[in-house]
């Protein structure tokens, strides 16, 4: 598996696991009346045998963390992700084939095909049991692309795991094992965490099991940029987090789960002072969505903005003057309103968002964290500074499509067709460099659009299609677009060219 790294402030933020292994998620729309918000405890069954540590505010020094460690260590599991050895056919491409085809008649049709044998790849990480019937939360990068997932409990028992759902944007995944009466960690309120508060990091660093380290909360709502424009609002801690800790538990002194350990900050690849965890406030909503719908019901505010207190954004003197004229010292400056989004008709350009649902917003991370708790259709109150006066504005959140409909997980099966890469002989015959052939059409979106067996897809939504995975990626992006249409262009073996528009919306 790969080791994810990213430079942050002269050091490396490393996704703390030696490898990653999972799949592509696509989406289907359902009726808005099916959009039911379920509480976390309605979705996952908590163990009744957990005893929380008793804290006395008067006699808190020194802090006794033994009960918190005992609570959590039995509910943190070791996860082994295996990507099995495969033999793959790859094409060594001719860079001129897309423009000229097989002009020399050498039968290459865009390149030579070769058989490549990939070795087995194994990665290790951690997970947290959140339901006594076997639901486990971990990081997406721990199980990404896994063919086999093995889960080992603290008592030595081992189970096969299956992925219920994964969300790369928050780097969270939900795994299920078939077991009952498992120990769980009670989920606490990460919003109530205070800087300086004692926390424990529980996991399996360097493939060692059941390791507990202690530290304090160093900061909250950190953004590192490691999730490629995903949702980031990390809890920063100086409890030691190393490779293999990914997906493990960050618990408070009461033994409550307040975060999922995900990233370490290091110039060397090992712990050097700071680690980062996904807040439980985000985790609860994401995994409940994954269990109920198979994908995350993500609410989008529909703005483009700039954090007021981000010095890297304020190098331009004209922008500095604009910021000063707004009268704000922190918050998110609204620079543009997206048409059809949640904020359209409610917020205005040059508003400064300073709060959401009664909680202060100082930067983008805190705004993202506030939104990540909600589903499309939820009503929220946004506090803005407008003309140097505070104003509360209620708005209804929408999804990326600009609706409040529920998005359900669906795969290529919604197209109702079977696919294969165009065989080499057919490529040579038709003078093609690439393409995906439809080998069968049943009931589904393809049939409804009039697509027939034998059609060769050369482009989908303007992108060249070389493999079935290429088509799957374009389909996924299309289901998230407002139009939800897949435009196909290609040809039949007879040489006839054709274009189709495949409607991806679901009733």
Q: Is 246 annotated as catalytic?
A: yes
DSSP per-residue string spanning 277-289: EEEHHHHHHHHHH
From 16, 271, 296, 256, select the one nearest 172 (Cα to Cα): 296
Task: Measure CA 102 to chain center.
Answer: 41
Q: Which of 102, 167, 171, 378 is catalytic?
A: 171
Q: Which of 246, 266, 342, 434 is catalytic?
A: 246
| Angle of helix 280-293 versus helix 364-372 axis, rounded to 10 | 40
Q: Pull the structure tokens for residue 157.
A: 């028992």
Write the CB contacts of 197 (distance below 8 Å, at least 6 apart in sequence).
Answer: 216, 217, 252, 253
From 276, 198, 231, select the one nearest 366 (Cα to Cα): 231
Q: Is 42 annotated as catalytic?
A: no
Q: Is 141 annotated as catalytic?
A: yes
Q: Find out whether the peptide bond into 62 is cis, omega within 30 degrees of 0.
A: yes
How many whole angstroms separate alpha carbon 25 and alpha carbon 206? 30
3-state secondary structure of 83: strand
Residue 147 CB burial class (10 angstroms; 0-12, 13-18, ≥19)? middle
* Exposure string for 21-53, b = 16+ CB within 10 A, e = fewer: bbeebbbbbeeeeebeeeebeebbbebeebeeb
How many whole angstroms separate alpha carbon 417 and alpha carbon 449? 12
Q: Which of 131, 141, 167, 262 is catalytic?
A: 141
Phi-psi bin for 325: left (phi > 0), alpha (psi -120 to 50), beta?
alpha
Evaluate whether 248 touches 261 at the Cβ level (below 8 Å).
yes
How many whole angstroms separate alpha carbon 148 and alpha carbon 163? 10
| Residues with catalytic roles | 141, 171, 246
């Amino acid at each position: 598996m790969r080791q994810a790294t990213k430079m942050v402030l002269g050091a490396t933020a490393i996704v703390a696991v030696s490898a990653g292994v999972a799949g592509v998620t696509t989406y289907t729309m359902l009726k808005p009346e099916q959009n039911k918000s379920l509480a976390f405890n309605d979705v996952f069954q908590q163990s009744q045998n957990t005893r929380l540590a008793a804290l006395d505010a008067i006699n808190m020094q020194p802090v006794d963390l033994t009960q918190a460690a005992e609570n959590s260590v039995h509910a943190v599991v070791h996860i082994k992700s295996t990507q099995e050895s495969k033999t793959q056919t790859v094409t060594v491409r001719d860079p001129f084939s897309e423009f000229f085809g097989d002009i020399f008649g050498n039968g290459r049709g865009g390149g030579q095909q070769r058989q490549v044998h990939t070795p087995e790849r194994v990665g290790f990480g951690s997970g947290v049991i959140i339901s006594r019937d076997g639901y486990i939360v971990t990081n997406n990068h721990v199980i990404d692309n896994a063919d086999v997932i093995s889960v080992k409990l603290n008592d030595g028992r081992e189970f096969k795991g299956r992925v219920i759902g994964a969300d790369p944007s928050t780097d969270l995944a939900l795994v299920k094992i078939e077991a009952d009466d498992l120990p769980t960690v009670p989920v606490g309120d990460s919003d109530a965490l205070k800087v300086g508060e004692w926390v424990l990091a529980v996991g399996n660093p360097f493939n060692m099991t059941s390791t507990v380290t202690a530290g304090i909360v160093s900061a909250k709502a950190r953004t590192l940029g490691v999730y490629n424009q995903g949702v980031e609002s990390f809890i920063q801690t100086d409890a030691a987090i190393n490779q293999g800790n990914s997906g493990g538990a960050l618990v408070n002194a009461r033994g409550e789960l307040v975060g999922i350990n995900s990233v370490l900050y290091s110039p060397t690849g090992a712990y050097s002072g700071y680690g980062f965890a996904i807040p439980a406030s985000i985790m609860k909503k994401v995994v409940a969505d994954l269990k109920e719908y198979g994908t995350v019901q993500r609410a989008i505010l529909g703005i483009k903005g700039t954090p007021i207190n981000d010095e890297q954004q304020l190098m331009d003197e004209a922008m500095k003057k604009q910021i000063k004229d707004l009268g704000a010292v922190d918050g998110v400056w609204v620079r543009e309103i997206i048409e059809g989004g949640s904020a359209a008709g409610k917020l205005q350009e040059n508003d400064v968002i300073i709060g959401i649902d009664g909680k202060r917003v100082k930067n983008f991370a805190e705004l993202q964290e506030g939104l990540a708790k909600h589903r499309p259709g939820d009503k929220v109150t946004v506090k803005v500074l407008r003309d140097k006066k505070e104003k509360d504005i209620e708005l209804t959140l929408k999804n990326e499509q600009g609706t409040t409909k529920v998005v359900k997980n669906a795969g290529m099966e919604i197209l109702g067709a079977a696919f294969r890469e165009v065989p080499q002989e057919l490529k040579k015959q038709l003078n093609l460099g690439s393409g995906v052939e439809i080998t069968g059409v049943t009931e589904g979106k393809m049939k409804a659009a009039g697509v027939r067996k034998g059609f060769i897809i050369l482009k989908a939504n303007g992108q060249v299609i070389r493999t079935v995975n290429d088509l799957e990626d374009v389909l996924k992006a299309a289901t998230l677009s407002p139009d939800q249409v897949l435009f196909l262009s290609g040809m039949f073996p007879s040489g006839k060219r054709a274009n189709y528009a495949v409607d991806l919306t679901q009733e």
